[in-house]
Structures are given as structure tokens and as C-alpha cells.
Amino acid sequence: MNKKLTTILFFVLMLSSMSSAGAAAKSDKLIAEFNRFISTTQSVYDAKINEAESKYQPLIQQAQGRIQTAVADLKSANKVKVLKLGTNRNYWGQFDCPTSRPLCIGVDKGPEFQVGEIIVIKDIVLSDLDQLYVMQLVLADGLVELLNPSTYLKAVESFRMANRDLISVSNNLRSAKLAANETRLANLEYSDAIRIAKSAAKRADKTPNDFNRAFSNAFIFEYNRI
């Protein structure tokens, strides 16, 4: 016999040994216990999900708020001065054309800047960790200098830390939900056995003088039938 069904059979036989006025009372009590087991499984799952949401959603919102603040600070410090052009034209895709030359596009459709002019970092760069890393390379190569380095560098670090925290708490929330669902599914694996046992309890009502034996036989009968 299936191991899980054997386990549930042992469980229900323990329940069936409870003293009662008659077979019908035992049957009713067994069925009530089975129904309670299923109901409790869902209640426990709901409680664990609510607990996880209550714990991690505020932390997620806090991290998201810090990200928004960091991006706003980055946008307030987005101006740089061109120091040299270098050889990598791809780097210059990080910047918008200066307001004095809104059409600073070369024949290859890439931006063409001039040494000494003031340009701005694109908004899309300031809200993307990968592109901010490219900006680090641009700064490290000495192609541009920040006009407000203190605010910019502090905001980059805040943005990085907030994203790290957001990923961490989001993963914690996901893990908590998965764990709750795994427990729920593990318990619900017994649902077929419980359905069999409930039918067996009703059949055992027909032999009230020996309910335990009748229940055991009825359980095996229902199991084989299904």
C-alpha cells in the first residue's frame, strides 16, 4: 500500500479508537477531523503568506523609496565636462547632446562632442546599474569630469545599496511564499487518502459493534476500489 496512505490509515485508526456513544458518533468525529485537517492546512498557508507579506513588503517599499531618492539625486548631478574624446565612440551614447548643439550627431549616427563643452548624462543611464557601471569606465578613462562629484558618487552608492537590499528582501519574500506553498502541497497530498477514509468511516457505520475493524476493512476496500 502507498506509504502516505498507510500513514493516514494509522492516523485515522488512532482517531477511531476515541471513545464514543456509537459508530455514528465515531464516524462523525472522524469526518470532522479530516475536514479540519484540510481547513487547517489552508489556514496555516494563508497565515504564513500574510506573515511574509507583513514582514517583507514594508522593506521592499523602503528599498524602492531609496532607489527613487537616489535616482533623483543622480539627475540633479548629471552634468559633466568633456575632457577628451578617446577612441571608444560607444561610451558617448551615455550622454545627451548639449543644449547649445541639440543635433550633435555624426555621419555614423553616433554623438559627436567637443572638448570643453558641458553635456548631461541620459536619464536612462541614471536608473540602470549596468549603465552606471559603464559610466564608471568613462570616468576612469578621464573622458569627462563630474561637475558635482560628491552628490553623484554618493547617489550612485545609495542606488547600488538600495538595489542590493531590494533584491535581497524580494528573494526572502519569494522564498517564504515557496516554503509555505510546499508545506500546503505536501499536506494536500493526503487529500485522496482523506477522501478514502471519509468514505470508509461512513461504510463502517453499518457495523457499530466493531467499528475499528470495520473501518480498517472499509478503508482497504475503498483504496483498492479507487
Exposed, middle or buried: residue 17 (CB in 10 Å: 0-12, 13-18, 19+)?
exposed
Burial 169-180 (b: 16+ CB within 10 A, else e): beeebeebbeeb
Q: What is the pLDDT of residues 118-163, one digit of tens each?
A: 999 999 999 999 999 999 999 999 999 999 999 999 999 999 999 9
What's the pLDDT score for residue 183? 85
As separate numbers, helices (DSSP H) first and strands (DSSP E) second, the chain gives 6, 4
What's the pLDDT score for residue 22? 47
Distance CA 198, CA 219 (A): 9
What's the pLDDT score for residue 78? 96
DSSP, res 95: E
What's the pLDDT score for residue 11? 56
Is residue 194 a contact partner of residue 34, using CB atoms and an 8 Å limit? yes
Give percent above pLDDT 70 in the chain: 82
Q: What residue ranges do the domains of the chain occupy? A: 3-62+182-225, 78-171
Could you tell me the pTM of the whole model? 0.70
10-residue mean pLDDT profile of the chain (226 residues): values are: 54 50 60 76 90 96 97 96 89 87 70 89 95 95 96 97 97 95 79 73 69 74 73
What's the pLDDT score for residue 207? 67
Distance CA 158, CA 13 (A): 61
Q: For 125, phi and psi rounded to 5 degrees?
A: -70, -35
Contacts of residue 127, Cβ cutoff 8 Å, sequence gap at least 6? 71, 74
Distance CA 223, CA 226 (A): 5
User: Which candidate, 13, 17, 26, 12, places its Cα nearest to that of 208?
Assistant: 26
What's the pLDDT score for residue 2? 53
Distance CA 134, CA 136 (A): 5
Q: How many CA atoms lie within 13 A of 111 on its CB side?
A: 20
User: Which candidate, 203, 195, 202, places its Cα nearest to that of 223?
Assistant: 195
Strand blocks (E) in 68-213 = 79-82, 95-96, 118-121, 144-146
